[in-house]
Structure 1
Amino acid sequence: MTEMVAGLEEMYILIYCFLILWINIDYLRDHANIKKGLNEIYSEDELLFNPHDISIATMGLAFNFFRRWLIYLLAVIMTESMMVLMISIVLFIVSLYDILFNYTLEKLRKANIGLYVIIADVIYISIFVIYIFLRM
């Protein structure tokens, strides 16, 4: 099994990056519809679940780990660049802030920080993919 994976790590990382890019770009295309849908939801509908529940926060953290933070870690490890590390830390802090403080329906309606993080992620991942291609 190890022989099958050995030497193909960069290919698996590229596949993962393209998958995450696809998800992020799809979100950017549908952002206007998502915002419109959020504005159509009434506050009473929000009470169907408790946004302060630890399980909701845990799901958000797990989702963001696989959507963002794993790529930040891979980029820092692969490039060994101080600039990539600093950019990754800034993106991590901003996305963590978005998860921890924009969890209610009212805050999601007003906040655009999630959109800005997605745009930054698309640019970050695109540059990382180019780096991997040049390294191959």
Structure 2
Amino acid sequence: MEDYIRNNQEMLIIIYCFIILWLNIGYLREYKKIKKGLDEIASADELEINPYSVSLDIMVLIFNFFRRWLIYILAVTMTGNPVVLIISLILFIFSLYDCLFNYTLERLRKSNLLMYLAVADTIYIGVFVSYLFIWY
């Protein structure tokens, strides 16, 4: 199994990128419905989940690691390009800010940062997958 993974590393990364691209494009297509749904949630419903809990923070950080940050790490290590490193750091900082400070329903309603991050990630992943097809 280890040899299979080692021999097909680039193909597995491309499949992973396509899965994340599919998630991002689905989110972008449904963005207006999601925003409308957030507006329809009453503030009493928000109290069912404590937005200040450490376990929720850990879940959000783990989700963002697999949805965004792992691709940034892979792109930086595989390309070795300083421009990719700078873009990855900028995207990482914005997504970390979103994880740490847009945790209440009211802030999610006002913020468009998730949409902008999804657009940036979609472009970033598209360019990275193109790079993988060309160079590997």
How many pairs does the alignment contain?
Answer: 136
| 1:48-83 deviation per Cα after TM superposition (whole angstroms, max 9, x unaligned) | 010000011100000000000000000000000000
Q: One-letter code of the match for 1:101?
A: F
> How far apart, CA to CA, are the structure 1 residues paired with 2:6 and 2:56?
37
| 1:20-66 deviation per Cα after TM superposition (whole angstroms, max 9, x unaligned) | 00000000000000000000001110000100000111000000000
- In structure 2, stretches of 5+ residues that fail to align are none
SS of equivalent to 1:6:
helix
Q: One-letter code of the match for 2:47?
A: L
Match of 2:87 in 1: 87
> How far apart, CA to CA, are the structure 1 residues paired with 2:90 and 2:77?
16
Match of 2:56 in 1: 56
Q: One-letter code of the match for 1:107?
A: R
| Identity of matched residues, % | 58
> How far apart, CA to CA, are the structure 2 residues paired with 1:6 and 1:65?
22
- In structure 1, stretches of 5+ residues that fail to align are none
> How far apart, CA to CA, are the structure 2 residues paired with 1:84 and 1:61?
22
The answer on 1:7 being equivalent to 2:7 is yes
| RMSD, matched Cα | 0.6
Normalising by structure 2, we get a TM-score of: 0.98
Match of 1:135 in 2: 135
Normalising by structure 1, we get a TM-score of: 0.98
SS of equivalent to 1:103:
coil
> How far apart, CA to CA, are the structure 2 residues paired with 1:26 and 1:115?
11
Q: One-letter code of the match for 2:34?
A: I
Match of 2:108 in 1: 108
What does 1:61-80 align with in structure 2 at a 5 Å threshold? 61-80=61-80
The answer on 1:22 being equivalent to 2:17 is no
The answer on 1:32 being equivalent to 2:49 is no
**How much has 1:6 moved relative to structure 2?**
2.6
The structure 1 segments of at least 4 consecutive aligned residues displaced by more than 6 Å after TM superposition are: none
> How far apart, CA to CA, are the structure 1 residues paired with 2:3 and 2:113?
43
SS of equivalent to 1:117:
helix
